[in-house]
Structure 1
Amino acid sequence: MLEMISESALLMVIVIFVINIFYVSFLTLRTVALTKGYRYLAAFVSILETFVYVIGLGLVLDNLDQPVNVIAYALGFGVGILTGLYIEEKLALGYMVVNVTSSQNDKDLPDHLRTLGYGVTHGTQYGRDGARTTMQILTPRRYQRKLIETIKELDERAFIIAYEPKTIHGGFWTKKVSSRKVANYEPEHVEEILEEIYEEEAAEANDETNEKEEVQSRKE
């Protein structure tokens, strides 16, 4: 097989391009996983990276005597970085913290977001134009865009800053983030979803009250 690849200039270019995409993709994923603290994932990806290096990259490096092969190598390197970053983005490892400042103090945005499954710490601060509701929201990274769209639906003038925390320790944030609840709605229908949830909660609370009254009446 190696002889067949070596004898075909076109096949050699394709092999160099594809192998370098795989190699650099794994290299990029391993680097990102290490920076995010996913040691075991980084170790697993490094095994795949080494496998590609031993099996294929030696062939690539031995055939860089032609300009077209060098071009294929360079293009594969660039595409490999983009591919690795794309895969990492789809995996969406870790959490994001979204800081929100809202002037709509009459809207209970923190409770709305908690109801939808996000972890929220909120308070009141003061800016040039008076009181503002400030929120620090924890969300799985794969739901960051969904959270931001939800906030815009509830308050289109909200000021939003998002960043990735390097360390999360203590507290109850990660336990309060309900991925299942967050996944079960679309931002454009958030107000209707909230109304349904609150109606269900009110009905459940009413049923509990009626049961307690019935038990109390029986005791009397």
Structure 2
Amino acid sequence: MDWLLENALMMIVIILVINIVYVTLFTVRMIFTLKGQRMFAAGVSVIEVIVYIIGLGLVLENLNRIENLIAYAIGYGIGVLVGMKVEEKLALGYITVNVITKEYEPDIPNALRDKGYGVTNWIAYGREGERLMMEILTSRKSETLLYKTVKELDPKAFIISHEPKAFFGGFWVKKIRR
């Protein structure tokens, strides 16, 4: 193992990889924390801190080598990007999507319901008159498919989404409990 650490190029690669892993784990832990997944967050944090200490230790032992500091910084940046990709793939939680269509078209909410979405709809009034307003709760994993479906039903629909902190009762709670 000592020969690996003595080779300057290998040291740079090790520091780079360790920091990519560390920051990715940091991101995943933060996601679990924000989503209330305490046990997963705690488990990931144990691994995260071990990786962090190893990587930082390697850099601090070799502060005289600027390339190690650069590898550490680049690894951090790449770790942020990898962590974001992992977060997209995990897609934990739910989103609420508000859709406003220009014309009142009752077939749009029913078409979405037929695809399994819980839709609450009502008539809203905008600057140019009546609009159809829909509120849809879906899993984050289904987010892209929902947007695609809405755009197929009404290419000019106005769509805005946000993450609900909590929800109780209704269509989704019954479906989740099953």
TM-score scaled to structure 2, two decimals? 0.90
Report what 1:19 is aligned to: 18
- Aligned residue runs from structure 1 range 2-151, under 5 A: 3-151=2-150
Q: For 1:41 and 1:109, locate their aligned partners in 2 and report how far apart those are by CA, in whole Å.
A: 39
TM-score by length of 1: 0.74
CA distance in 1 between counterparts of 2:64 and 2:97 reads 51
Higher relative CO (Cα under 8 Å, sequence separation at least 6) belongs to: 2
**Which residue pairs with 2:154 in the alignment?**
155
| SS at 2:103 equivalent | coil
Say which one has the larger Rg. 1
Deviation at residue 5 of structure 1 after TM alignment: 2.2
1:44-72 per-residue CA deviation (whole Å, 9 max, x = no partner) reads 21122123234444223322321111100
Q: CA RMSD in A?
A: 1.7
Aligned-partner SS, 1:22 = helix
How far did residue 112 of structure 1 move?
A: 0.8
User: Is the contact between residue 25 and residue 83 of structure 1 (CA under 8 Å) also seen in structure 2?
Assistant: yes
Q: Which amino acid aligns with 2:42?
A: A
Gaps of 5+ in 2: none
Structure 1 segments (4+ residues) deviating >6 Å: none
User: Which amino acid in the other structure matches residue 92 of structure 2?
Assistant: L
Identity %: 52
90-99 vs 118-127, greater mean Cα deviation: 118-127
Structure 1 residues 89 and 174 mapped into 2: Cα distance closer, same or farther (>3 Å)?
A: farther
